Amino acid sequence: MEEPDMATAAGTHGVDFDTNVQRNCSFAHLVEEAIRRGEGELAANGALCCMTGDRTGRSPKDKFLEDTPGIHDSIDWGKVNRPISPEHFAALEERARAHLDSRETLYRFDGFCGADQRHRLKVTVVTEKAWHCLFARTLFIESDADEQASWDPDWVVLNACDLILDDPSAYGLDSHIGVIQSLEQKKVIIVGTQYAGEMKKSIFYAMNYDMPDSDVFPMHCSANVAADDSSNVALFFGLSGTGKTTLSADPDRPLIGDDEHGWSEHGVFNFEGGCYAKCIRLSREGEPQIWDAIRFGSVLENVVLDEATRVPDYDSDKHTENTRVTYPVDYIPGAVIPSVGAHPRNVIFLAADAFGVLPPVARLSREQAMYYFINGYTSKLAGTEAGVTEPTPNFSPCFGGPFLPRPPMVYAQWLARRIEEHDSHVWLLNTGWTGGPYGQGNRFELKYTRAFVTAILDGSLSKAEFQTEPAFGLSIPTAVAGVPDKVLQPRQTWSDPAAYDAKASELAGLFRQNDATFEISDAVRSAGPTGG
């Protein structure tokens, strides 16, 4: 077993602690530590299975941003970006540091966010749980010994997950949970929640603020590339559970990354070194690459194990619908390492429509691309956030609203610029419901969704015959290989066409209510739904 570096080593941002700090430990050591400390147990497939307690998803209502003069005017303040004073930030950081210093052992990981060496941030994560450190090591890009010797982090995450505040209002918080971030100090402080995804998404939030200043468009998307054509890169935008990870894990297309990327003047690059996939109802038949990636070194969250065999029960939602797994990106066979690619030929927006009225696939004009990107329609799926128990229709700007510090139009303008510069094709793909809304209709079969993706990426769909459907004014194909024609026309899948018309009008009206909140051109606004 690789021996961990027990030294605390000098660093900036206050990452030194008086307690024992195990730094840049091996997978084996962190797994051993997690099991010894009762944080998790080995599944039959070799993955470490851990529970996150009462929070099995992100806690967006408990996230705050330090409000300072230096960043105030560049932030889109509101429900997502809620301010916390510098005084409260400092007080909570002091409390979190004291808590961490009181622990017998801490775990530290030093790694990178950004596979392109021209655009990457040094990240240090300090945790009180071994499995949280393993999570960080799985998802961020590893540094080597020479880099660690002179490590000076750009960002620091202090995860004091077991600190429960009995007086949260004294720190400017609404509950005992706090995820607070400072864009000026480059720090993240986490208290009161064991959900590991908070670490990942906080650094994505940091990249969404820092990268535009480096001429990089930050994106909440997955990316892959054709095995026989390095110029055939595809992006998949969408919120958690809409299919980013599933659709990008394609045995015929090497994976660049599954969740967070940048698009620079040189092409696209993965922010991360790993994947964070939903695994509810995971099967070897449906998602073989993800299934095979779950092995020693990966982390299962809130997955039920059989008491006798230790075999994961991926069908169980006993703890949450939002069961998760992390694994290094190179656990996917043939993954692109380093995780960089050319400018994308196709850009796909994934919308899990809980209304059941959007067509399964549509070709978007430039103005429609801007419209559907800025609105970011999808459904929050069960468990991805605290309190979400069933699919809920939702507009998330740029398919990543919870992670955007800057106004959405900043990112929408970046999209328009990049697709124009590189003549990228843009598509809307509905991975949600058909034949009725959630609770009445059925979710689109994965085999049909994969057929649409195949037709997009091999270029055949762009050559198909298209017609305009009336409810949203979207251009839809008249035929796609491997898909019944009826599936292409959402109205025909409903037993009651009048009910479809009413529901489509309802969703169109919601689009119009939402687009009224943005300052967009008349051309872009007119590219929205024609009904409602």
Mind telling me the catalytic residues?
58, 201, 220, 240, 244-245, 259, 324
Is there a contact between 376 and 395 (Cβ–Cβ < 8 Å)? Answer: yes
What sign for the dihedral angle of Cα 486, 245, 190, 114? Answer: negative
State the Cα–Cα distance between residues 155 and 209, nearest whole angstrom. 12
State the Cα–Cα distance between residues 237 and 417, nearest whole angstrom. 17
Q: What are phi and psi of 229, to 5 degrees?
A: -155, 100
State the Cα–Cα distance between residues 369 and 417, nearest whole angstrom. 12
Is there a contact between 178 and 168 (Cβ–Cβ < 8 Å)? Answer: yes
Q: Which two tokens stand for residue 344?
A: 């994308």
Q: What are phi and psi of 508, to 5 degrees?
A: -60, -40
Determine which helix (DSSP H) or strand (DSSP E) holds 305, and give its type and residue range: strand 304-305
Q: Is 204 helix (H, G, I), strand (E, B) or coil?
A: helix
Radius of gyration of the chain (CA): 23
Cβ contacts of residue 516 below 8 Å, gap of 6+? Answer: none
Alpha carbons within 13 A on the beta-carbon side of 477: 22
Q: Is 490 helix (H, G, I), strand (E, B) or coil?
A: helix
- Amino acid in the structure at residue 166: D
Cβ contacts of residue 383 below 8 Å, gap of 6+? Answer: 56, 57, 280, 317, 320, 321, 322, 323, 389
**Helix axes of 497-515 and 366-375: crossing angle, nearest 10 degrees:** 80
- Amino acid in the structure at residue 350: L
- Amino acid in the structure at residue 37: R
Place of tokens 């059941």: 356
CB atoms within 10 A of CB 246: 24
Q: Is 491 helix (H, G, I), strand (E, B) or coil?
A: helix
State the Cα–Cα distance between residues 49 and 301, nearest whole angstrom. 6
Is there a contact between 247 and 453 (Cβ–Cβ < 8 Å)? Answer: yes
**Pairing relation of β-strands 377-380 and 442-443?**
unpaired
State the Cα–Cα distance between residues 419 and 262, nearest whole angstrom. 14
State the Cα–Cα distance between residues 217 and 206, nearest whole angstrom. 13
Scored b (16 or more CB within 10 A) or e, 386-397 reads: bebeebbbbbbb
